[in-house]
Each structure stands twice: as C-alpha cells, then as structure tokens.
Structure 1
Amino acid sequence: MPDSRLDVPPLDLSAGSVELTRALCDIESVSGNEKPIADAIEAALAGSAHLEVLRHGNTVVARTRLGRERRVIIAGHIDTVPLNNNLPTRFETVDGRDYLWGRGTVDMKAGVAVQLKLAAEIIDPSVDVTWMWYDNEEVASEVNGLRLLAEERPDLFVGDFAILGEPTRGDIEGGCNGTLRVNLTTSGLRAHSARSWVGDNAIHKAAPILDILAAHEPRTIEVDGLAYREGLNAVGISGGIAGNVIPDECVVQVNYRFAPDKSAADAEAEVRALFDGFDVTVTDAADGARPGLDAPIAREFLAAVGGTALPKYGWTDVARFSALGIPAVNYGPGDPLKAHADDERVALDEITGCENALRTWLTGGRD
C-alpha cells in the first residue's frame, strides 16, 4: 500500500489516460486524506496558461474564461472508500478484455484522469468549461467538498449543463434517485428472560415492520422518459441488552430510494403513512435529480456521445447541480457494480472511449 506520508510523484498530464488513471489511483486518497492528490492535481495544472486554477480546501477548480455563450461544469471526486489490500494497481486480462485493477479505478479516478487530461489539452473548447475535482464525496454530506464549494463560491456554479464523471460504463445516466433513511423504533419493558411474561419484548414488536417491508413491491416510475426503479429496504436492525434480558427497545433502519418525480419531503410522507403508528425518525434525506435531458445542450451531448440514456438508480452529486437549476448527467468509465468492490477494476477501452467521446464533444468535432 502506498504511504501517503511520502512525497507524491508529479502527475504527467501528457501521459495517456490509462497511465494517468494508474498514477492517480496509486496516490492513496481515502476520504479525509485527499491533500496529497489535491496538491498533485493543482501542481500539474499550474502551468496551463488557458486555465484559471483555484483551490478551496482539498478541492481544485480550473476554468476557461473565453467568453463563450455557454458554460459547462465537469466534476469528479478524488477520494475513495477505504482500502482492502487493493493497492497498488495492476493490469490484468479477464475473458480477453484488459483492465486496470485496484481501489479507485472505477469510483472514480478513471473519470478524473480523463477530465484532467482534457482540461490540460483542450485550450480552445467550443464552450467555456469549469472543471471541479473535490474531496469527501464518499462520506457525510456536511464535509462534501462540492457542497462546501457551492456554499462559499456560488459564482463558480454558474453554468448551462453539468457532467459528473461517476462510473456509467461509458453510457449517459440522467439524474438520480433520491434517498431517505429512517429509524423505526419499537418500545417494550425489560424483564428477566426466565420470567418473560413480566416484560414486553420490543424486538417481537418489530415483526410487523419487517412484514411490511417484505411484502412491499418496489415501483418503477417513468420521469422524463427514463424509468427509475425504487427500493424500500431494511438495512440494519439493533436491539437487545443481554442474553437473559427481555429487550425494551428495537430499532429497524430503513432506506428508501425514491424516483426523482418526488421530493425528500414527499418520500418522508409516504414512509410515515406506510408505517403509521410506529415511531419514525428521519436520519438522512436527499432529493434526487430529474434527468435534465430536455435541455438543448444535453441533447447535443447525448447525440455526440451516442447510445441510449439510462436512469441513475443511486444518489450522486448531480442532485446538487439539479437543485441549482443546472441540468446534469452522470458519464464516466467503469462498471458501477465494481465500485467499492475488493476486485474493483476498470476496462481500459472504457477509459479511452470516454476520453475520445468527451474530447469530440468539447471541441465540436475539431481535431
């Protein structure tokens, strides 16, 4: 495992996007330890005369100021989830396809590598571009670098369209589902388990909650032409004092992934109605984002990249752009099913494919 206390080798933005992906991944940057990689990115961009480079904490921003009629924001996070013996990176071939294996290859340093290379090389884009590489995406929202940047520098979030480099296998995934987490708490009365009739078992009282969840059939809801599959699931349960005590409390943690046709407040109302009579406490909530593909610039991007737009089921930071009135999509290399996996790996042809498609669009097809 690389030691983040050592000096980080400088990034060579003239290298190929595959090699740059490997260099970025081999800079360990688990959430909270992004300073070395942010330093490396800032230093690599410092000599780009066509870019204004800004730093906010461990978030790096680079933007063109060419006076174009339209501006696009292209963003990616530079942190990863914790390691599990999956650094340094290595190349491997699986079923005849070449991959780069290791933490961060999918989520989402391959996307960041593509963005950095294009930011450095495209000096005359057809639109003005604001590039953002931010920290703490994988952890609590209150420390998310994109959120903090928006609060401190709202002027940087003026744009006509946004692209987030989350892994999508090189497809375009519009918008995202929202997410709501609640605790459902049942109460009882403690007693010795040898005399259980004296008490009131709170864990047993949770059975109807689990019955409701088991019987629930997730809906698929069409929003602006894309079909978003919802999900309502128990993601945790806690209760019990000791092996000989009837528990007086049980908490079932429930996560609702809801389609972007409704707000987080709407989703909360649905959950409260479904679990009427139970103690419901909201612990986390975030609105989703509508696809945003009806904007002319979004349609141009879809036509240039090709393929069919898909829905994004997980929550991503496109929701932050959507909340600011900026249509946004997810687009990047890597299979999202491999994000956070111990065998995380990205196909090399997806990295170069995304680079070529994004380059074509940003240059208007010019060589």
Structure 2
Amino acid sequence: MTRTISALDLTADPVALTAAMVDVASVSGEERQLADLLEHALREQAPHLEVLRSGDAVLARTRLGRAHRVLLAGHIDTVPIADNVPSRRADGIVHGCGTSDMKSGDAVFAHLAATLPEPRHDVTFVFYDCEEIEAERNGLGRIEREHREWLDADLAILGEPTDGALEAGCQGTLRVELRTAGRRAHSARSWLGDNAIHRAGEILSRLASYEARDVDIDGCRYREGLQAVRISGGVAGNVVPDECIVTVNFRFAPDRSTEQAVQHVREVFDGIPLVVTDLSAGALPGLSAPAAAEFVEASGAVPRAKYGWTDVSRFAALGIPAVNYGPGDPNLAHTRDEHVAEDAITACTAVLRRYLGS
C-alpha cells in the first residue's frame, strides 16, 4: 500500500510532518518529488523567507539583519527502501525508511522555517540531496560551488540522528590498501613458492599492537582507531598466492590534518607499500564560538565527540563551527526497522525553538 502526498503542511505537528515526508520516497538520486513539495510549501507557507532551488536541493533564509546567522541543514535522501514505506505510527513511535536518518530532523527544520518568522538570529535552511551515496554527488558540494554565499553562517547544525544528544565535530577517515607480494607455486610443492597471505602477518601484528590515541578537544573526547576492514588474496585451492591486499581504516581525531593522518599511517606501516584509497578530513567542534556556546547552553546537553564522519566536515573546511543534533537514533539508521520516537521529535523542536525563538 502506498500513500499519495500532494502537499506538505509545514505548520503541522512535526511528528505528522515526519510521517508525511517518509511517505514521499526519496532514495538517493530520486529526491525530486520531495524537493518539489518542500519548495512549494516554503514559498506558500513561509513568505518571510527567500527561497532558492538548486538541483534537487531547496534552500531558504531570513534577511533580518541580525548579528549572527545559524544554518540548519538536513539531507532529504534515504538508503533504498526495505518494505518500510509508507510510514506507520504506533505506541508513540513513527516507523519507516528515513525516520531516523533523517526525515525527522528535516521535519523539525521545515516546521521551524514556517513557524518562526522573527527569529533572534538570521537562519538559513538547507534541504539537500545525495548524502547517502558517493561524495562527489553530495548536494552540499554543488551548493558550495554554485551558491557559496548561502552557506555563510556563524554556526551550522546538521540534523543527523544523535538521539537528542549534541555531537560536536567529527572524526576524519582514511582508508589505505597494504600489499604483500610473494611467488606462486603448486600447494603440493609449497616450498617452491612464497605465500603472500602469510607475509600479511606482519601487517596484522602491527595492528594488534597499535595503541589508539585519545584526545580532548573543547571538552569532547575523541578516540582514534586503526582497523583492518578487509583482506583479499588467494588464487585457487591448490595455489600458493603471490599477492595479498589488506585494507585498513584509520579514524582520526580532528586535531590531525589529512596530511598528518596519512603520515601517521605510513609510519605505523613503515617498509610496507600502501596506497591511499579514501580520505576525508575531520571537523573540530568549535564550541567556543559564541553562537555554538549559546546553542550548547540552550540545549542543556553535555557535548560529546562525534564518532564517525558527517557533513559537518564540509562546514569546518569553510571555517564554520558545526554540530550534529537530531531526534533520530543513529543505531537505527539504514535498518529495516528504522523508527523514531515521537517525543524525541517534540523535544528537539522545543530546544531549537528556544534557541532560535524571538
């Protein structure tokens, strides 16, 4: 059974708005219908906002001349649907694809866009596409290239699921491939070969003895991690392999630059050839910035480090302090049983209204 959504009521309870947004399927690359509905609703129900369409992203902002500007950003795409659309509400829970990651956060932001015509900070709202897939298609990248001034702010709040906690900054991530070489031989005459998989033991030994670093930044404790995430090698069941590849992922604290992270991993695996296959910078929490400190106080939450990478890194690269704050449970993101508590949506809305309210 499907539901046809012909319009979004942004002034409705954010819980109902969450369900309505879930009912508009928006798998990455297929966000147009939801973007159309959001654009129309913002133009019709929030005349106090300037609205811009960029591809399948929708942006809106106030121009009140306030001393500070806060940006609220949420991606409107989801992972592929797993028989969990349309939404379902029961026992104070909204079930459905994207409820946690992150249509509940989007609904909170869209509701505030329509119902806060005179906030005490100028506010920019960014509803963007293609966050769940390859980084080069991420709508924020396109917006930065084509409409850079729309991203200017004193603080960016991303509605990523944090279960109502305030998660500051994010870790950087680095993936490398480490290769060992050997010599092929028939396994019945193994002494004639050199087993590349056996040579990978040195890589695993260094990983096993690695001591992860902890670092405190703005009161947030970031713990680093260096882990083997994949091993590939072998030719056939009767062949001594001549190549083995170990893929290693380094999650590093945001006080390291990408260059420093790469250099650190090279030092750990000194003497072993490696190739960098993926690299993204972390984001410093920036909680000492006035707008960020004010939000910490308004939320009443004790900030904690974000374990994982999010688009806060894009804002940090622009010199904009950024935090993750949303009603969803991150452990439920992308699952078949994805859901969000109604009271979590209500609580998140109240915190942001108190922070932004006139």
2:129 and 2:176 mapped to 1: Cα distance? 26
Counterpart check, 1:51 vs 2:63: no
SS of corresponding position for 1:256: strand
Partner of 2:173: helix, strand, or coil?
strand
What's the offset of the Cα at 1:2? 5.0
Q: 1:136 aligns with which of 126, 130, 138?
A: 130
Q: Is the 8 A contact 2:219 2:303 kept in 1?
A: no
Note the residue ranges of structure 1 that are not aligned, 5 or more in a row: none
Alignment partners' CA distance in 2, 1:88 and 1:129: 31
What is the deviation of 1:200? Answer: 2.0
Stretches of structure 2 lacking an aligned partner (at least 5 in a row): none
Provide the C-alpha distance between the structure 2 equivalents of 1:183 and 1:87, rounded to a whole number of angstroms: 38
Is 2:354 aligned against 1:363?
Answer: no
Residues 52-98 of structure 1 show CA distances to partners (whole Å, capped at 9, x for unaligned) of 111111111011112222111110011112222222222244xxxx3
Matches within 5 A, 1:221-300: 221-300=215-294
Q: Does structure 1 conserve the Cα–Cα contact (< 8 Å) formed by 2:5 and 2:20?
A: no
| 1:176-195 correspondence runs (5 A) | 176-195=170-189
Secondary structure in structure 1 of the residue aligned to 2:125? strand
How well do the aligned residues superpose, as a CA RMSD in angstroms?
A: 1.6
Deviation readout 1:15-58 (Å, 9 max, x if unpaired): 21111111111222221211121112112112121111111111
Aligned to 2:296, which of 269, 292, 302?
Answer: 302
| Partner Cα distance (2:131, 2:301) in 1 | 28
Return the match for 2:21 from 21, 24, 43.
Answer: 24
What aligned pairs does 1:1-367 form with structure 2 within 5 A after superposition?
Answer: 8-47=5-44, 48-93=46-91, 98-364=92-358
Instruction: Describe the superposition over 1:169-196 as per-residue Cα deviations: whole angstroms up to 9, x where unpaired.
Output: 1121111111111111112222222222
- Identity among equivalent positions (%) equals 56
Q: Which amino acid aligns with 1:17?
A: P
Q: Which moved more, 1:83-92 or 1:150-159?
A: 83-92
Q: CA deviation at 1:202?
A: 1.5
SS of residue paired to 2:164: coil
**TM-score, normalising length: structure 1:** 0.93
Deviation, 1:216, is 2.3
Alignment TM-score, normalising by the size of structure 2: 0.95
Cα distance in 1, alignment partners of residues 146 and 194 from structure 2: 51
> Residue 8 of structure 1: CA displacement?
4.5
SS in 2 for 1:46: helix
Size of the aligned set, in residue pairs, is: 357
Write out the 4+ residue segments of structure 1 that deviate beyond 3 Å after TM superposition: none
Partner amino acid for 2:85? L
SS in 2 for 1:285: strand
Q: Work out the CA distance in 2 between the residues paired with 1:339 and 1:220.
A: 27
Q: Using the TM superposition, give the Cα deviation of residue 290 of structure 1 relative to its aligned residue in structure 2, in angstroms.
A: 0.9
